[in-house]
Amino acid sequence: MTRERLTLFDTTLRDGAQTNGVDFSVEDKVLIAGLLDELGLDYVEGGYPGANPTDNRLFTERRTKRAKFTAFGMTKRAGVSVSNDPGIAALIGAQSDAICYVAKSWDHQVRLALGTSTEENLEGIRLSVHAAIEAGKEALVDCEHFFDGYKANPDYALACARTAYEAGARWVVLCDTNGGSQPAEVEAIVRAVTEVVPGGHLGIHAHNDTEQAVANSLAAVRGGVRQIQGTLNGIGERCGNANLVSIIPTLLLKPFYAERFEIGVSLEALKGLTALSHRFDEIVNRAPNRQAPYVGASAFATKAGIHASAIVKDPSTYEHVPPESVGNSRRVLVSDQAGRSNLLAELSRLGIAVDKADTRLETLLSAVKEREAVGYSYEGADASFELLARRTLGTVPEYFTVESFHVTVERRFDAEGRRRHFSESEAVVKLRVGGERLLTVGEGNGPVNALDRALRKDLGVYQDVIADLELIDYKVRILNGGTEAVTRVLIESRDGTGASWSTVGVSENVVDASFEALIDSIVFKLVRAGVQPA
Amino acid sequence: MTRERLTLFDTTLRDGAQTNGVDFSVEDKVLIAGLLDELGLDYVEGGYPGANPTDNRLFTERRTKRAKFTAFGMTKRAGVSVSNDPGIAALIGAQSDAICYVAKSWDHQVRLALGTSTEENLEGIRLSVHAAIEAGKEALVDCEHFFDGYKANPDYALACARTAYEAGARWVVLCDTNGGSQPAEVEAIVRAVTEVVPGGHLGIHAHNDTEQAVANSLAAVRGGVRQIQGTLNGIGERCGNANLVSIIPTLLLKPFYAERFEIGVSLEALKGLTALSHRFDEIVNRAPNRQAPYVGASAFATKAGIHASAIVKDPSTYEHVPPESVGNSRRVLVSDQAGRSNLLAELSRLGIAVDKADTRLETLLSAVKEREAVGYSYEGADASFELLARRTLGTVPEYFTVESFHVTVERRFDAEGRRRHFSESEAVVKLRVGGERLLTVGEGNGPVNALDRALRKDLGVYQDVIADLELIDYKVRILNGGTEAVTRVLIESRDGTGASWSTVGVSENVVDASFEALIDSIVFKLVRAGVQPA
């Protein structure tokens, strides 16, 4: 049986940008567009050119290689010609392969929100689609409020869909704008729409307001649509959009769909899904959801009890898919089985040879568990993990010892309460290198910056080795509420060879935690360089 | 049309206790059972008597008034008589109205995990149900692996269901144990089961491994089941159980279900759902999920300017149900995408009267945009936004002026490089209150903690007003890579009245940014208290 092609449309950078607390920089958007392109999505919607400076800058170039880079905007306003509509002009001028227009398809909304006639609205759809096609771009039309509109006035909702399709839109996307529709309704309404627009030209855009955005998207596919719109980790306004990170593995791994459909994401690319999901959380600086389907740290975790023994006999008992298929791994929470094998895999990945029977593995395993229990996380700090492993195995020399550091932050305000500007942080570090005692001082615009400069200013005999060390990223996460909470600092460093590595520090004190991560970074660099201690 | 009764079964205290990181005390369980009882659930499953001391203590009393308090356990072991099975004895001896037995219904699993024959398994179901009934308790049978079992061997899966029903079980619960089934499969299989067991005696127990536990539960209802099992906030092993906090409002508020079914939860009780959900998060010490359907802080939040203008005209545009119906409320986020309409909506929500035509609105709007351009974010900082608005409108008195602050962080290490523990941060703040000049000093485990303590130690005439001010959350976000990056600090504060508010600070220097947010928090408290400047 030949399988039908389903098209995946990502709107993380547009509808996802509506998420409370998420604000992408142009650099974020370029990075994320690249990740989505590699994953194998068909469309990447970048944003809304003309609406804000970020998106204007983003659309000065196409940001994807394979995926169709898509600009979002409104259809032509009533009362102006296409050529006089600044919104349309911005869309046509943007560097994109496709334009996704949003158009209301609920007559009540057309009159209420747009204050135009239902006829003008149809005309706007028609002319806007034509404008995109004349500009050599593919046109999509997002029918806002489609399901509520259909329930209120099916004829008008269908007229909007038909108008878009007949005007030449490649895709007519049915939008459940307020997220309130139920799967059975969605499936039935989609079936009705396929009488007017072929399913091969229909898409679904679902929201998670009843926790059924994934189910609504898949119900729409059963009803006939062949494009699914969604976001990474289901971010989006209110309760979020349909979560592509849950939908993609379901389409690829569940026979119910895999036997009927194919998508642009390969089974090989799927193995990178867990890493991609966590990478995205890092970019938007959110703690990954441990319970996330497929990619969560707990998604394949089994707690002590009846299940743990059964899972050893037959994983399929409590695993609906193999964890490796999405790049995740099994965790049996009290038994060290999983931990041990993960650890061995990680060590061999780092080129650290250890015998399976080596008892120091247990020591390392419990060290990792103890440290993660107090807030360390080695997922994002490969270098700190490698140092911990090598220290446990006794292969890290003591290059230097730190006696103390002292940091001052001073700030003066003028009469109007404005900050007076001058470099206001100073750090003094006292350490011993071999027999030598070093005092080094640095200034910075903040305590961490000052410490970083102090440390890298004078490390005696090691100075040449660390001269090209550079700090390229710095992340802080508070692990539980209150200023007395534990602070986790992640630092990414780079050197002249272009190699980069990440280190972690944890303390109640953000300066302390940062110092720990800075020290790890320097020691890691010395180990990598094979430097012998003074 | 008369509506059918749907039965709600909560397993938060049993299956929910399998959640990674969740560990209920007896007191927790008693408290939560009470909350579930008040909400109007039909069954509250307390745990597994005989399996651990907590549950043994819990089942020394019935813990619900209206709901049937239910004990969970396994059916009779093979090779022993009911009277000689300690597990059955613990269940019969427990103080409960009902017993929910778990029994495998996948022949492969029976042989593999139990190592008994399929016949013995059926016999165990039969005798265990009889034992419960003879003890004057209601019997339920949870058919583990039912859907996978049915796909592998429908006859045996049905035999298990039939055996339980014919033995006198009030409910036969179909369990999607590894959470991998899809809604359409669930609905079809449930239909087939109703040929053998009346739907009025069938239940569904779904897991969220493909993000469709809610959809699977509702699909099963369409297929014929009349009991739904789930947990508060969807906690549970791996990706969690079906989320009753999403299912209950959907059943009550969506015509698709409300017209066909009735449940034990009243529309009045539903108004307490948001509070209940957050209360539960507090008990299990988790940060509430802002994006949670119905009850999340963002569930009715709007960011986009175009949406905000429409929502003012007609809430149903972007609200699928009225927020008040679940005890939640609407929020219009102020962000650089915001237009005048967001601003006006937010100002009126804050009770700040401004004329639509007031030119200061433009000043405020551009102030918001400028500040967000340099890193401020007012979405998560309502109090800082209110202060900015009131300052622009000239209604914030100058309570005090800060001359300067000075913070030191000192850390000593022992010979092994371990941190020496003592309070190592000190902050001195100099400020003027009216004519008076104040010097105040505080110590803390970090620079921000020290500043916080210094500030709240002595604010002269305002001291009484801020005495009950408390800092409850602290978030740091680095806005672009490197230690020289801009740091955004968000602080959440609370006072004796239980009111809480959030403030924001931005600087290259994390201490600076924190200080700004701390000052905003104090000034906001003074403004709210209607304090006149000294």
Kindly report the number of other CB atoms within 10 A of residue B434's CB atom: 12
Is B254 a residue whose pLDDT tops 70?
A: yes
Residue B514 CB neighbours (<10 A):
27
A163-167, B381-385, B493-497: range with highest mean pLDDT: A163-167
The pLDDT of residue A193: 98
Q: Which two tokens stand for residue B374?
A: 């340099």
Judge contact between B191 and B156, C-beta under 8 A: no
Note whether B18 contacts A303, CB cutoff 8 Å: yes
pLDDT over 70 (residue B66)? yes
Is the predicted pLDDT of residue A37 greater than 70, yes or no?
Answer: yes
Q: Is the pLDDT of residue B314 over 90?
A: no
Element (H, E) at A47: strand A43-47
Chain A hits for B396, CB-CB cut-off 8 Å, are none
Q: What is the distance in angstroms between the Cα of B5 and the nearest Cα belonging to chain A?
A: 20
Q: Which of B180, B321, B447 sits opposite A511 (nearest CB)?
A: B447
What number is the average pLDDT over the span B286-300? 88
Confidence of residue A113 (pLDDT cuts 50, 70, 90): confident
Q: Is A358's Cβ below 8 Å from some Cβ in B?
A: no
Write down the pLDDT at residue A350: 79
Q: Which of A68-77, B185-194, B317-326 is predicted least confidently?
A: B317-326
Nearest to B445 among A294, A471, A508 (CB): A508
- Please judge whether B478 and A476 are an interchain contact, meaning their C-beta atoms are less than 8 angstroms apart: yes
pLDDT at B366: 83
Question: Between the CA of residue B381 and those of A286, B334, B347, what are the distances in Å?
Answer: 17, 10, 14
Q: Tell which wins on pLDDT, B362 or A224.
A: A224
Q: Say whether B180 sits in a helix, a strand or coil.
A: coil
d(CA A191, CA A224): 6
Residues 432-471 (A) with a CB less than 8 A from some CB of B: 444-449, 452, 471
**pLDDT in the model for residue B234:** 98
Test B180 with A321 for CB contact under 8 angstroms: yes
CA distance A42 to A226: 12
pLDDT band at A497 (very low <50, low <70, confident <90, very high): confident
CB contact under 8 A, B109 and A305: no
What angle (nearest 5°) sits at the alpha carbon of residue A338, between those of residues A489 and A284?
A: 30
Question: Read out DSSP for A234-254?
Answer: G--STT-B-BHHHHHHHHHH-
CA dist., res. B325 & res. A112, Å (int)? 24
Q: What is the pLDDT of residue A481?
A: 47
**Could you tell me which residues come within 8 angstroms of residue A420 by beta carbon, excluding any fewer than 6 positions away?**
A411, A412, A413, A414
Give the percent of chain A with pLDDT over 70: 93
**Distance of alpha carbon A71 from alpha carbon A99, whole angstroms:** 5
A69 Rama sector, left if φ>0, alpha if ψ -120 to 50, beta otherwise: beta
- Look at residue A337 in the predicted model and tell me its pLDDT: 42
DSSP secondary structure string for all residues of B443-465 = EESSHHHHHHHHHHH--GGGHHH
Beta-carbon-side half-sphere exposure of residue B30 (alpha carbons within 13 Å): 11
Quote the strand ranges of A392-456, DSSP E: 401-412, 425-433, 436-444
Rounded Cα distance, B470 and B141, in Å: 50
Give the model's pLDDT for residue A336: 38
List chain A residues with CB under 8 Å of B308.
Answer: none
Contact call for residues B288 and B48 (beta carbons, < 8 A): no
- Spatial separation of the C-alpha atoms in residues B245 and B243, rounded to whole Å: 5
pLDDT class of B20 with cuts at 50, 70, 90: confident
* Cβ separation B413–A424 shorter than 8 A: no
Q: Which tokens sit at B305?
A: 């300017």
Q: What is the pLDDT of residue B461?
A: 87
Range 146-185 of A in CB contact (< 8 A) with B: 148, 177-180, 182-185
Report, at the CATH architecture level, how domain B400-528 is classified.
2-Layer Sandwich (3.30)
Q: How confident is the model at residue A310 (pLDDT cuts 50, 70, 90)?
A: low
- pLDDT at A332 (0 to 100): 57
> Hey, which residues 304-333 in chain A have their CB within 8 Å of chain B?
305-307, 309-310, 313-314, 316-321, 333
Task: Assess contact for B300 and A238: CB atoms under 8 A.
Answer: yes
Q: Is residue B326 within 8 Å of B268, Cβ to Cβ?
A: no
Chain B residue nearest residue A184, CA to CA: B219
Q: Where in chain A is the domain with CATH 3.20.20.70?
A: 4-265
A515 CB within 8 Å of a chain B CB: yes
Task: Provide the pLDDT for residue A221.
Answer: 98
From B195's Cα to the closest Cα of chain A, the distance in A is 22
Mean pLDDT value of segment A317-334: 82
B301 vs B225, more confident? B225
Chain A residue with the nearest C-alpha to that of B481: A473
A99 touching chain B per CB within 8 A: no
Judged by CB atoms closer than 8 Å, whether chains meet at A411 and B297 is answered as no
Which residue in B has a C-alpha nearest to residue A223's C-alpha? B184
Q: Which two tokens stand for residue B523?
A: 């000034």
Instruction: State the pLDDT at residue A335.
Output: 36
Q: Smallest Cβ distance to B449: which of A319, A403, A484?
A: A484
Shortest distance between the Cα of A291 and any Cα of chain B, in A, equals 4
| B277 touches A at CB < 8 Å | no
Residue of B nearest to A510 (CA): B446
Residue identified by tokens 């939860």 is B265
Letter for the amino acid at B339?
Answer: G
Are the C-beta atoms of residues A493 and A503 closer than 8 Å to each other? Answer: yes
Instruction: For residues A292-302, give the mean pLDDT.
Output: 90
- pLDDT at position A179 over 80: yes
Cβ of B239 within 8 Å of Cβ of A292? The answer is yes
Residue of A29, A207, A320 for testing the chain B interface, max B β-carbons within 10 Å: A320
- Is residue A534 a contact partner of residue A434, using CB atoms and an 8 Å limit? yes
In this prediction, residue B44 has a pLDDT band, given cuts at 50, 70 and 90, of: very high
Average of pLDDT values for A338-357? 76
Averaged over B503-511, what is the pLDDT?
91
Across the interface, whether the CB atoms of B290 and A21 are under 8 A apart is answered yes
CB atoms within 10 A of CB A61: 11
Integer Cα distance of B239 and B231 in angstroms:
12
Top-confidence residue, B13 or B1: B13
Distance, in Å, from the CA atom of B184 to the CA atom of B180, rounded to the nearest integer, reads 12
pLDDT of residue A506: 92
Which residues lie below 8 Å from residue B40, measured CB to CB, with a gap of 6+?
Answer: B8, B66, B263, B264, B265, B266, B269
Question: Which position has the higher pLDDT, B471 or A420?
Answer: B471
**A13-22, A474-483, B463-472, range with the lowest pLDDT:** A474-483
Higher-pLDDT residue of A441, B343: A441
User: For A14, which residue in chain B has the nearest alpha carbon?
Assistant: B304
pLDDT of B458 over the 90 cut: no
Question: CB–CB of B293 and A413 under 8 A?
Answer: no
pLDDT tens for A120-141 read 999 999 999 999 999 999 999 9
Q: Looking at beta carbons, which residues of chain B come within 8 Å of A256? A: 182, 184-185
Per-residue tokens: B164 = 């339980």
- Kindly tell me the burial class for residue A81, based on how many C-beta atoms sit within 10 Å of its own C-beta (0-12, 13-18, 19 or more): exposed
Question: Under an 8 A CB cutoff, do B473 and A482 touch?
Answer: yes
Band of the pLDDT at A173, cuts 50, 70, 90? very high
pLDDT at A379: 64
Query: Does the structure show a pLDDT above 90 at A419?
Result: no
The predicted structure's pLDDT at residue B421 = 65
Measured from the Cβ of residue A64, the count of other Cβ atoms closer than 10 Å reads: 21
Q: CA-based diameter of chain B, in Å?
A: 90
Nearest CA to A178 among A147, A133, A202, A150?
A: A147
Q: How far is A501 from chain B (nearest CA, A)?
A: 14
Going edge to edge, which strands form the sheet with A401-412? A436-444, A425-433, A401-412, B401-412, B425-433, B436-444
Quick one: pLDDT at residue A304? 47
Is the pTM for the entire model greater than 0.80?
no
Residue B141 bridge partners (DSSP):
B101, B172
Q: Name the more confident of B329 and B438.
A: B438
Instruction: Please answer yes or no on whether A483 and B449 come within 8 Å at the CB atom.
Output: yes
Determine phi and psi for A221, rounding to 5 degrees. -65, -45
- Round to whole Å and give the CA distance between B477 and B487: 6
User: CB pairs below 8 Å between A and B: how many?
Assistant: 371
Residues from chain B that touch A483, judged by Cβ atoms under 8 A, are: 444, 446, 448-449, 452, 471, 474, 514
Distances (CA, A) of A335 to A73, A354, B402, B504: 53, 21, 56, 44
Task: Kindly list the residues from chain B whose CB atom is less than 8 angstroms away from the CB atom of residue A313.
Answer: 112-113
- Say how far apart CA B340 and CA B363 lie, in whole Å: 11
A475 contacts in B (CB within 8 Å)?
478
User: Please, which residues have CB within 8 angstroms of residue A467's CB and are 6 or more apart in sequence?
Assistant: none
Q: What are φ and ψ of residue B475, in 5° steps?
A: -125, 140
Where along chain B do the CATH 3.30.160.270 domains lie?
A: 400-528
Q: Is B151 exposed, middle or buried (0-12, 13-18, 19+ CB in 10 A)?
A: middle
pLDDT surpasses 50 at B369: yes
Residue to substitute from B291, B302, B422, interface A, most A β-carbons within 10 A: B291
Spell out which residues of chain A touch residue B296, defining contact as CB-CB under 8 Å.
238-239
- Listed residue (B120, B75, B109, B234) closest to B177, CA to CA: B109
State which fold the B4-265 domain adopts. Answer: TIM Barrel (3.20.20)
Res A478: pLDDT = 74
pLDDT computed for residue A482 by the predictor: 47
| Helix, coil or strand: residue B243 | strand
Q: Helix or strand or coil: residue A436?
A: strand
Do A290 and B404 lie within an 8 Å CB cutoff?
no
| Mean of all residue pLDDT scores within chain A | 89
* pLDDT value at residue A334: 42
Mean pLDDT of B429-440: 91
Place of tokens 């306003």: A77
Q: Tell me whether B145 touches chain A (CB under 8 Å).
A: yes
Q: Is the pLDDT of residue A321 over 90?
A: yes
Q: In 3D, which of A457, A388, A401 has the Cα closest to residue A430?
A: A401
Interatomic CA distance for residues B443 and B449, integer angstroms:
8
Other C-beta atoms lying within 10 Å of the C-beta of residue A371: 17
Interface probe for B, chosen from A411, A448, A488 (most Cβ of B below 10 Å), is: A411
If you average pLDDT over every residue of chain B, what do you get? 90
Q: Is the pLDDT of residue A317 over 80?
A: no
Which of the four pLDDT bands, split at 50, 70 and 90, describes residue B482? very low
pLDDT at A380: 67
The reply to whether residue B301 touches residue A482, judged by beta carbons under 8 angstroms, is no
Q: How confident is the model at residue B423 (pLDDT cuts 50, 70, 90)?
A: low
